[in-house]
A = this chain, B = another copy of it.
């Protein structure tokens, strides 16, 4: 494998990063390549934690900002959507949008900004696309929280040229309707748990989700069944029906408050929390965030999906999402990124940090 050349243009560098296949769990090669490229830069202090790489300027600036991105991707298609190819205005292939374009921008800035206006911590981390317990950013935050300390963080997830502030929280619960089993030819001897679950679905469909303004951005809450299961045989009245419910809530609500809201809403049924994560306030009223938004001069909106900005929020670091690519094409078989967005994202961040 040839080493990464950080003097390449951002499009070529994105292509080179994509062509180092790094499906979650298989990031060693790309982490080695990134670490080697960064260690060649004398103005950076480089650390490694598993397959995560952290590079910092140590210039004693008044402010420090984080630029973070994950280096893993979801699995390739069959046949593989690699190596990347150019198709008109787009770079096409796995990782182009989610998010090796952002990683390429990070690496270009790491090489170019020998004298940035703020100290910068570049974070390249593994296992974002899999279960939270394996997340590289969370691991670094546990092992070396000092390495991440900063006044503001930018996560370079795709935002299609806008800034997306904060993120909603998410809670998943299993709501269970119970019944009594019986033969389906004699249902009067039992009680049908699926029929009982009709009331759960009724509460869901009647629910009116709120739109909540937080730090000047509007978050659209959402409450949905994302799964349902019940029944053990074609001739048995089911004694249990489980509805899996996902609640996405504004970052002004804590996950504990969200759980309490669900327990109240589904009063009378067993409610079991299976997954819970706080959101992140956008913090756009804070000085570090304002200077970022002013320098970029692009539209600012709320982030609807949960992202790792919440891990920065948990460290009391306000964080936003800003990166090249359309988030709707992330994980898509036809994943692609307009090459102009790669160039524009690099230029915008240079304006802020040069």
Whether A183 contacts B305 by the Cβ 8 Å rule is yes
**Given A204-B198, A205-B198, CB of A227 within 8 Å of CB of B234:** yes
With a cutoff of 8 Å between Cβ atoms, the chain B residues found around residue A238 in the complex are: 225-227
Chain B residue, CB-CB nearest to A248: B185
Instruction: Jot down 21 A-B pairs with beta carbons below 8 A, ordered by A.
Output: A170-B185, A170-B235, A184-B226, A185-B304, A186-B304, A187-B222, A187-B224, A188-B220, A194-B227, A194-B243, A195-B204, A195-B205, A198-B198, A224-B237, A225-B231, A226-B231, A226-B234, A226-B237, A228-B228, A234-B244, A235-B246
Q: Which residues of A contact B (CB under 8 A)?
A: 168, 170, 172, 183-189, 192, 194-195, 197-198, 201-202, 204-205, 220, 222, 224-231, 233-238, 241, 243-244, 246, 248, 274-275, 304-306, 328
| A185-B222, A192-B225, A198-B204 known, 4 other contacts, Cβ within 8 Å | A185-B304, A186-B222, A226-B237, A235-B246
Whether B192 contacts A275 by the Cβ 8 Å rule is no
CA A306 – CA B231 in complex, angstroms? 19
Q: How many whole Å from A232's CB to the nearest CB in chain B? A: 8
Copy number of this protein in the oligomer?
A: 2
The DSSP consensus for interface residues of chain A is mixed
Best-buried of A194, A233, A237, A241 by chain B (most CB within 10 Å): A194
Which of B170, B186, B202, B225 is A194 in contact with, Cβ under 8 Å?
B225
With a cutoff of 8 Å between Cβ atoms, the chain B residues found around residue A187 in the complex are: 222, 224
Whether B328 contacts A189 by the Cβ 8 Å rule is yes
Q: How many whole Å from A241's CB to the nearest CB in chain B? A: 6
Q: How many whole Å from A332's CB to the nearest CB in chain B? A: 11
CA A197 – CA B192 in complex, angstroms? 16
CA A197 – CA B224 in complex, angstroms? 13
With a cutoff of 8 Å between Cβ atoms, the chain B residues found around residue A172 in the complex are: 234
Chain B residue, CB-CB nearest to A188: B220
Which 4 pairs, one residue from A and one from B, show the smallest C-beta to C-beta distance?
A227-B231, A198-B201, A185-B305, A194-B225
With a cutoff of 8 Å between Cβ atoms, the chain B residues found around residue A194 in the complex are: 201, 224-228, 243
CA A177 – CA B248 in complex, angstroms? 24
Whether A248 contacts B184 by the Cβ 8 Å rule is yes
Chain B residue, CB-CB nearest to A172: B234
Best-buried of A172, A189, A238 by chain B (most CB within 10 Å): A238
Chain B residue, CB-CB nearest to A202: B198
Chain B residue, CB-CB nearest to A223: B187
CA A228 – CA B195 in complex, angstroms? 10
With a cutoff of 8 Å between Cβ atoms, the chain B residues found around residue A220 in the complex are: 188
Whether B234 contacts A246 by the Cβ 8 Å rule is yes
